Amino acid sequence: MYKEISVPMKLFAALVVLWSLAGSAIAGPDEDAVRDLLHSTFDKPEAKLVIAPVVAKAGYAIADWTQGEMGGRALLHNKHGRWTIILCAGDGIRSAEALQRAGIAPDVAGELAQALAQAEQALPADRLAMFARFEGLLRMDEAGNHPPVHDRTH
C-alpha cells in the first residue's frame, strides 16, 4: 500500500527533475568547441557525427560519438585555448585509471570519469553499446590527426 503524494510535492519533484535535466543538457563553451572540432574533422556528407554527451573538466574533455553504425569516445585537451584530440577509444577511456594512463592528473581524471558516468546514465543501452564498438586505443598526432588508418569509419 502506498500513500498519495500531494500536488505541491509532485510539482516540487517535477521541478527538481527538470532542473537536473536542464543542467546536464546545457552546453558550455568548452563542450561547444569540442563538438565544433569533431564535426569539422570527421563529418562526411553521407555520415554526420552525432556527438553526445560531452563532458569537460580542467582543460580535458571526453566526447561520445556515433557515425553511421560506428561509435566511440574521443579524449581531448585544451592547449593554449585550442582543443586538440589526444586519442579515440571505446570503453577503454571510461575509468579514472585509463585517463591517468593517458597522462591526465589523478584528481582531474577522477572528476572527468565521474562526469562521464553521470552523463551516460540517461543514455539508452543501444547507444552506449555503440560507443564500445571502437576497438583499441588510437593515439592522435600533435596536430590532432589520426595516423594512417584504412577502411575505418570516423
Cell triple for residue 73? 569516445
pLDDT at 144: 52
Q: What is the pLDDT of residue 28?
A: 86
Give the pLDDT score at 145: 57
pLDDT in tens, 60-81: 999 999 999 999 999 999 999 9
Edge-first strand order for the sheet with 60-67 is: 50-57, 60-67, 70-79, 82-89, 137-139
Residue 153: Cβ-neighbour burial (10 angstroms; 0-12, 13-18, 19+)? middle
Q: What is the mean pLDDT of residues 6-30?
A: 44
Find the helix or strand (DSSP H, E) in which 40 lies: helix 29-42
| Mean pLDDT value across residues 30-59 | 96
- Average of per-residue pLDDT values in the chain: 82
Q: How many degrees, rounded to 5, is the angle at CA 60 between CA 114 and CA 34?
A: 105
Amino acid found at 62: I
Mean pLDDT of 128-145: 83
Q: How far apart are CA 10 and CA 40, in angstroms?
A: 44
Place of cell 556527438: 51
pLDDT recorded at residue 140: 78
36-42 mean pLDDT? 95
Higher-pLDDT residue of 23, 125: 125
pLDDT for 151 beyond 70: no
In the chain, what is the straight-line distance between the N-terminal and C-terminal CA atoms, in Å?
53
